[in-house]
């Protein structure tokens, strides 16, 4: 079932352009222009963006507007960004921030 | 060096930018978010006349007016420090140092969390996060949702999520504790919900209002049905509390219990409600951090949502050439924020252009418009806002004198 | 699950129990709680949980909220690299 709100009774229908591909932890996903990394991952059904550095517990978005930093992810140039504030681009190669503890989804 | 730098491209920041630019100032607005509009973006509700308040189109209007007025707007720019130099402000951002004569902080509000066991699981998000996901990015935060925290914000957003096609199973309260305080106390929750009964489109609240006229909140809480009262088909259960959010790698549901009118769990009533997204709604508080690092004085004002930088009705702070507008001055509606932004823009134009006196009439009119907007506000986040505002302005005057 | 194991500070995974025990043992302010437990000292700069820590401290010490901000904000209010602080690298939150 799609997570996209294609039709909305008040906001209207989305005019979708062609989707493009980006990568998260090596897997390919689809996104549309205007998606943040967070919205594209959520639309793809991926909730876990990183593991806590010490405990290894799974974490995803919490505040979605840049306050909590829970959704931080790493880009190819090792730059760490907030998934909720960063627009996803075609071919973007995104990784979970490396923690001390390996394992987990 | 710019005349004016504004931090925050929400309703207050953009309105101030338009006003100041129209008065001839060179204005630059920055924001962390990829889109302008701030908290306006997520807003979508029906006014008493039946018309929809669509925050996205409101912010589009402000954006195009700002561009027409010649305002420079730069998104995806975070501020990490502010320095006051002889010549003006040096604002350290992720895109370098920005310099200006005047600085307006229109940073809005952040959400107050309610820590609950299991709230770090992926799929547990703040209520504002769900709103932005659904209305702005047009992605459902989940298929079925439980909202913890029964307040004006969660009720409005529950309906927005429903419009996005999310099955909002119920709105419940957090378990009574040192952390949840009034939010976990059914009588207090009902008391605050009853104040919202003038919200005409809201059938559930109207019902509560009728009840509230005849019964005190304690009695209303006692009589409140355990199955909740429905609003737009969504049960509001002020006598059901969240014990724990469940899930291993991500959220799968909430363990709840029925509680008495004073919030005491009733043994044997525990239940698991399945959900793939859980939203926490603890309310809003002013985002004071930048005001704090530049050395503003603060007052703690419960009715306004927390620590407020001391300011005048003209939106000046106790620091020369530093101004505030919008939710950083207290939690109110976007319309109030816009009206305040206009005051700030005019005040700044008068001070920077040395035109004090010349814009007095316009500033007075703008202040009058703030008061009027406040009086007509559909949603009073807290009672006594006009009075507490008045006291804050007097405090400012006393301390400037 | 024991409610006392509820995480209050998400960044540093500080529990309600540790915060309560610290306040009880040292009869301390929220600032001291922060320094002793690292609650509100993590990646987000305390933006998420500082008000909760103030609330718990206030509640346990039976105080009213003060006008001064107890858990003060210090720059940088967003994580930046040493490079960015030196002015050479931009826009890095690591």
Q: Say if A59 falls within a structural domain.
A: yes
Cβ neighbours of residue B212 closer than 8 Å, sequence gap 6 or more: B190, B194, B197, B220
Inter-chain touch B92–C60, beta carbons under 8 Å: no
Q: Say if A45 falls within a structural domain.
A: yes
Written as six digits, the tokens of B101 are 């004569």
Q: Chains with 3 or more CB pairs closer than 8 angstroms to A?
A: B, C
Written as six digits, the tokens of B312 are 């005048």
pLDDT tens, residue by residue, C19-73: 999 999 999 999 999 999 999 999 999 999 999 999 999 999 888 888 888 888 8
The confidence score (pLDDT) of residue B214 equals 65
Chain C, 24 to 43: residues with Cβ < 8 Å from chain B are: none
* Number of Cβ atoms within 10 Å of the Cβ of B233: 11
Q: Say if A85 falls within a structural domain.
A: yes
Burial A11-37 (b: 16+ CB within 10 A, else e): beeeeeeeebebebeeeebebbebbbb
Q: Chains with 3 or more CB pairs closer than 8 angstroms to C?
A: A, B
Inter-chain touch B122–A5, beta carbons under 8 Å: no
Domain that holds residue A91: 18-99
Q: What is the CATH number of the domain that holds A52?
A: 3.10.20.440
The confidence score (pLDDT) of residue B216 equals 78
Asked if A95 and A48 count as a contact pair (C-beta separation under 8 A), the reply is: no
Per-residue pLDDT of chain B (401 residues; tens, 9 = 90+): 999 999 999 999 999 999 999 999 999 999 999 999 999 999 998 877 788 999 999 999 999 999 999 999 999 999 999 999 988 999 999 999 999 999 999 999 999 999 999 999 999 999 999 999 999 999 999 999 999 999 989 999 999 999 999 999 999 999 998 888 899 999 999 888 877 655 544 555 666 666 666 677 888 888 888 888 888 889 999 999 999 999 999 999 999 999 999 999 999 999 999 999 999 999 999 999 999 999 999 999 998 999 999 999 999 999 999 999 999 999 999 999 999 999 999 999 999 988 778 899 999 999 999 999 998 876 665 668 899 999 999 999 999 87
The confidence score (pLDDT) of residue A24 equals 97
The confidence score (pLDDT) of residue B190 equals 87
Query: At residue C88, does pLDDT exceed 70?
Result: no
In DSSP terms, B105 is beta-bridged to B7, B324
Measured in residues, chain C has a length of 94
Angle between helices B203-214 and B186-194 (to 10 degrees): 110
Q: In B, which residues are within 8 Å of C78 by CB distance?
A: 78-80, 94
Asked if B174 and B180 count as a contact pair (C-beta separation under 8 A), the reply is: yes
Q: Say if A63 falls within a structural domain.
A: yes
The ipTM value here is 0.94
Radius of gyration in angstroms for the set of CA atoms belonging to chain A, rounded to a whole number: 14
Number of structural domains found in chain A: 1
- Shortest distance, CA C10 to any CA of chain B (angstroms): 7
Q: Say if A3 falls within a structural domain.
A: no
- Shortest distance, CA C94 to any CA of chain A (angstroms): 5
**pTM for the full model?**
0.94
C5 close to A (CB below 8 A): no
C62 close to B (CB below 8 A): no
Question: Distance (Å, rounded) from C-alpha A101 to C-alpha B213?
Answer: 58
Q: In C, which residues are within 8 Å of A57 by CB distance?
A: 13
Backbone φ and ψ of A12, nearest 5°: 85, -170
Angle between helices C16-26 and C50-61 (to 10 degrees): 40
Percentage helix, strand, coil for chain B under 3-state DSSP, each rounded to 5: 35, 30, 35
Q: Say if A104 falls within a structural domain.
A: no
Q: Say if A68 falls within a structural domain.
A: yes
Angle between helices B55-68 and B334-352 (to 10 degrees): 20
Q: Say if A83 falls within a structural domain.
A: yes
Q: Got the DSSP string for B269-330?
A: --EEEE-SEEEE---EEE--HHHHHTT--EEEEGGGTEEEE-B-TT-BBSSTTEEE-GGGG-
Inter-chain touch C65–B288, beta carbons under 8 Å: no
- Shortest distance, CA B74 to any CA of chain C (angstroms): 14
Inter-chain touch C43–A80, beta carbons under 8 Å: no
């Amino acid at each position: 079932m799609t997570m996209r709100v294609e039709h909305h009774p008040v906001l209207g229908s989305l005019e979708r352009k062609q989707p493009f591909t980006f990568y998260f932890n090596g897997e390919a996903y689809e996104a549309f222009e205007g998606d943040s990394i967070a919205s594209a991952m959520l639309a793809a059904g991926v909730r876990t963006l990183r593991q806590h550095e010490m405990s290894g517990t799974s974490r995803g978005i919490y505040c979605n507007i840049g306050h909590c930093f829970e959704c931080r992810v790493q880009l190819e140039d090792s730059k760490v960004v907030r998934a909720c504030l960063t627009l996803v681009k075609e071919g973007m190669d995104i990784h979970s921030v490396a923690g001390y503890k390996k394992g987990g989804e | 060096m710019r005349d004016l730098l504004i931090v925050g491209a929400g309703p207050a920041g953009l309105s101030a930018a338009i006003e100041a630019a129209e008065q001839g100032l060179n204005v630059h607005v920055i924001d962390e978010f990829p889109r302008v509009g701030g908290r306006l973006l997520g807003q979508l509700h029906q006014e008493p006349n039946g018309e929809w308040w669509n925050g996205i189109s409101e912010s589009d209007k402000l954006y195009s007016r700002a561009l027409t007025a010649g305002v420079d707007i730069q998104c995806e720019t975070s501020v990490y420090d502010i320095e006051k130099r002889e010549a003006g402000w040096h604002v350290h951002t992720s895109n370098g140092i920005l310099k200006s004569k005047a600085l307006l902080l229109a940073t809005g509000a952040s959400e107050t969390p309610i820590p609950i066991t299991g709230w770090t699981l992926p799929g547990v998000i703040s209520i504002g996060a769900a709103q932005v996901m659904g209305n702005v990015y047009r992605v459902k935060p989940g298929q079925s949702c439980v909202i913890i925290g029964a307040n004006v914000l969660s009720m409005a957003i529950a309906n927005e999520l429903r419009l996005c096609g999310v099955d909002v199973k119920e709105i419940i309260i957090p378990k009574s504790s040192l952390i949840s305080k009034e939010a976990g106390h059914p009588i207090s929750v009902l008391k605050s919900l009853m104040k919202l009964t003038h919200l005409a489109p809201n059938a559930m609240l109207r019902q509560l209002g009728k009840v509230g006229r005849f019964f005190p909140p304690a009695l209303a809480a006692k009589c409140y049905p355990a199955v909740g009262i429905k609003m737009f088909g969504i049960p509001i259960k002020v006598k059901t509390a969240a014990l724990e959010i469940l899930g291993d790698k991500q959220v799968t549901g909430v363990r709840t219990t029925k509680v008495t009118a004073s919030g005491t769990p009733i043994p044997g009533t525990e239940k698991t409600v399945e959900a793939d997204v859980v939203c926490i709604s603890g309310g809003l508080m002013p985002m004071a951090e930048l005001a704090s690092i530049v050395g503003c004085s603060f007052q703690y004002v419960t009715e306004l949502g927390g620590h407020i930088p001391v300011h005048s009705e003209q939106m000046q702070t106790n620091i020369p050439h530093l101004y505030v507008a919008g939710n950083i001055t207290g939690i109110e509606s976007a319309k109030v924020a816009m009206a305040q932004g206009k005051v700030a823009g005019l005040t700044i134009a008068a001070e920077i252009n040395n035109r004090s006196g010349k814009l007095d009439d316009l500033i007075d009119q703008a202040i009058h418009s703030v008061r009027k907007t406040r009086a007509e506000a559909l949603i009073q986040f807290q009672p006594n806002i006009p009075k507490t505002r008045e006291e804050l302005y007097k405090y400012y005057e006393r301390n400037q004198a | 699950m024991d409610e006392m194991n509820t995480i209050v500070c998400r960044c540093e995974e500080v529990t309600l129990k540790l915060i309560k025990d610290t306040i009880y043992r040292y009869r301390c302010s929220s600032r001291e709680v922060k320094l002793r437990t690292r609650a509100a000292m993590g990646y987000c700069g305390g933006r998420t949980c500082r008000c909760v820590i103030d609330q718990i401290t206030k509640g346990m010490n039976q105080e009213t909220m003060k006008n001064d901000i107890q858990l003060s904000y210090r720059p940088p209010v967003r994580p930046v690299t040493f490079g960015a602080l030196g002015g050479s690298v931009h826009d890095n939150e690591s």
